[in-house]
Structure 1
Amino acid sequence: MSRLLKSIRRAPYQSFAAFLMLFMSLLMATALLFSIGSLYGLLGYVETRPQVTVYFQSNASESEIGKIRQELIDSGKTLSVKYVSQTDAFKTYKELNKDNPLLLEMVTADILPASLEINTKKPVYLPQIAEFLQKKAGVNEVVFQKIIIDRLVQLTALIKTISLTFFIFLTITTMIILFTITHFKVALRKDEIELLRLLGASNNFIRWPFFQESLIFAFFSATSAFLFFIGLFFYFSPFINGYLRGIDRLTINFDWAQLTVWPINTTWLACIYFGILLFGCFTYLTASFFATKKFIK
């Protein structure tokens, strides 16, 4: 630590510039990681909602509806097919309008249609199932969310592409600036490096103080950026909570695990923090390696 403080005193402005550059880069990386994770969680949430809802005519019997339900299950394209009877629909209606007695008096169970809520395995199955249902007798209306899901998928893909492009640009820019700053700081210690080489010091021994400084700067920059982002998040949390009202949980599904991104939890925050910490260490160590390469040939 004393060596780090000595290095900072030798080039205070360059050290501050390196910290500030890394802080801003990691802050933007944190925002990108959080945004992309939330979008993928939202996409997963929409895809697990009842994507196709078919309403039947009042004269459709339960046996006819049950037969259609079984055909959907046997197709292998659905995750779940839930039957909602007229009685169940009326219970839901009463719960939603319990504060409005006038609406409750105007509606009875006989008025509300029975329905099937269908969740497909893939969005591509939505139009196929909708077309299949529209040909069935007793079907009154078929509602599916293909347009919403397609737009959300397109938006997620677009943001992912833009974020990846911006992330690569940010990484290259950060490396160039950190390389320039570190190269200047190495030049200030040129005589010391020459002396160490004459004494037979290895390249790794000469590089280690700069690598150590890079790791410490990366740690403080990542921690500062993370805490600053958390502060911003809690400041805007009322708006975020209002926007996500009614959504209990957002998750990202991997082949080996499931990661919850909403509500905010320690696991998701730890993933973000260690992600930007590793990115900061990699960026600064790479810049330091190339900055010292010229002086230890």
Structure 2
Amino acid sequence: MPMRTNVTFIGALLLLGSMTGCASQSSVNQLPDNVVLVEPERAEFRYEIELARIAQMLGEDLSQEQRGELYYRRGALYDAVGLRTLARMDFTRALEYNPRLADAYNFLGIQYTQLEEFDYAYEAFDSAIELNPEHRYAYLNRGIAEYYDARTELSQEDLEYHLKKEPGDPYRVIWLFLAEHENDPELAQKSLEKNKTQLDQAEWGYQIVQLYAGQLAEKEFLQRMSRNLEESEKLSERLCEAYFYLGKYMQIKGEPLSAMNYFKLALMTNVYEFVEHRYASVELTRIRKAMLTR
């Protein structure tokens, strides 16, 4: 649920306090004081080179399909560096030139979900699935949209289908648990225990499942999350995941202020491509709205 980082164990709460303003000052002391901070991601140089190359190629004589592919590729690059509006414009252009780009519809669906424009999101995901019924992520992303739109039964259906395609993926297990928990927390916990048996215990994601299953304390989870990084794995990516799911975990425990700070920590990693970074901002917006209506 996809970048070189320096780890610092510091008084992260002071930093968070200066970033969040008066509204969340009371939440500062609710986080452990040994959270891991990481240098935020920076856009890779090769992205800049490729963006320049695509801009040059778009000025050449191209077929409709070639132009659509280039707009899609540039949109994906813009999305990877957090330029969501430019990305959305390019995905829309890509589909004007080539209406059969399932991946462009999938990206648009994600972006509309982030904007909480759910009707547009469903239309985009449905189009992606119609074009490619075996699309790797469209069911996950539609399930997440339904989760945030409080259509939990439909969300469970999509997320169950997604999990069946790869039962050994801990992140699929977690998203299904979150959807099920909205309807029936006790049943969700039993389902989590069952689905957990299909997972590789050596994988980092298994520890997130253990946290939700009550087999790993928050403090121990924090101590473990920067250990044993694989060669291809970046600390910022792992922390983005860890802090997002800690935020969701604290929500389940009824601690929205702590959840808020974990979501902020997820956003601080700048891992824009990850599902967890995408929806951390949605979670923060919802918590703030809930606080204002109290």
TM-score above 0.5, yes or no? no
Relative CO higher for 1 or 2, CA cutoff 8 Å, sep ≥ 6?
1
Normalized against structure 1, the TM-score is what?
Answer: 0.21
Normalized against structure 2, the TM-score is what?
Answer: 0.22
Please state which structure has a larger fraction of its residues in strand: 1
Which of 1 and 2 has greater Rg?
A: 1
